[in-house]
Amino acid sequence: MTTTTLTVRPATDADILALAQLMSEANPRHPVTPQTWAHEIAELRGHSLGLHVAQWLAEEEGVARGMALTLQSPGMYHPDRYWAEVLVPAQHGRRGVGAQLAATLGTHLRARGAREILSGAYEEEPWAVKFLTRRGFSETLRYFDNVLEMSGFEASAWAGESKLPGGVRAVSLAELTAEIGLDAAIAAYYAAFAEVREDVPRSSPPTPHTLEDFRTRLLNAPQYFPEGTLLAVTEAGEVVALSELRLNDTDPGRLDTGLTGTRRAWRRHGLALALKIAALQLAKRRGVREIWTGNATTNRPMLALNERLGFRPRPAYIEMRWGGV
């Protein structure tokens, strides 16, 4: 095979199946279904910030060999900041596919006047790190996938630390919705979520989510799991801590963790740990095989909490940046 037969073209909605398959093969740690990727793209296109998103396919005689994408992240938005990825499954690597996709991506981003580009690669794939380094990227932050094998989790061992302080109770989002209605439950949940996420380590300041964007993304997500969203609620009805579990639509035996944290005024009372334990107890009852979560290597409190619970880190993902805004 030579690169002379390789063509790169813009991807369309008709290519969702091929795109999802390439993404899953290139990063089997986090496979994606066509349904989920179609949903993610639709969410980006319909976002109130007017986000840009574009994708390309590299093909050889009509067979997909790799893909590239760029998008503006709603979580760290700046009009001149883009996330960009070149994804080539291992069986198609070392043949110039990535280089040709990167050239197409670079032309597109230069035409848009991009001043900052974020990308990344796993530390266990040094060739991918070098691919970015050669193109002027440098490391900004590292993230661990932390995985808990549920066979080793014994809920009874945590009974003493699963209790909340007086005046605070643990309920799921589903239970809170049944009590006070969907609109009020989501508003209370959003207030805590918005504050907690401000303190999550990241390479650039977070962009605030509006309540409407939060509600839309939450309710439409294929991973929506209200029974697995655990909230600490005061007698006044304020949500002061949260721990999210999400469904994984590629593996019914796996759950993924979203945001876990406590509002600033309520920290150091064991709320996050108690909710995390309640979430793991729920997963155990459901017969879940493993739970995945992601933590920045600078987030020592959460890494320590997860390590206590039995989560073990996988090779780190290295976020890298070109330019800056």
Mean pLDDT of 65-70: 97
Give the domain range for residue 83.
3-114
Residues 239 and 287 both lie in one domain: yes
Task: Work out the end-to-end distance of the chain between its first and last CA atoms, rounded to an integer number of angstroms.
Answer: 40
Model confidence pLDDT, tens digit, residues 248-289: 999 999 999 999 999 999 999 999 999 999 999 999 999 999
Residues 155 and 295 both lie in one domain: yes
Q: Which of 91, 114, 137 is the last residue of a domain?
A: 114
Q: What is the pTM of this model?
A: 0.91
Lowest mean pLDDT among 151-165, 187-201, 271-285: 151-165
What DSSP designation does 94 have? S
Find the DSSP H helices in the chain.
Answer: 16-26, 34-45, 97-111, 126-133, 173-180, 182-197, 211-220, 271-285, 300-309
Residues 108 and 151 both lie in one domain: no
Mean pLDDT of 208-224: 93
> Radius of gyration over alpha carbons of the chain, in Å?
21
* pLDDT of amino acid 156: 82
Has residue 134 been placed in a domain? Answer: no
Q: Which of 145, 144, 148 is nearest to 254 (CA)?
A: 148
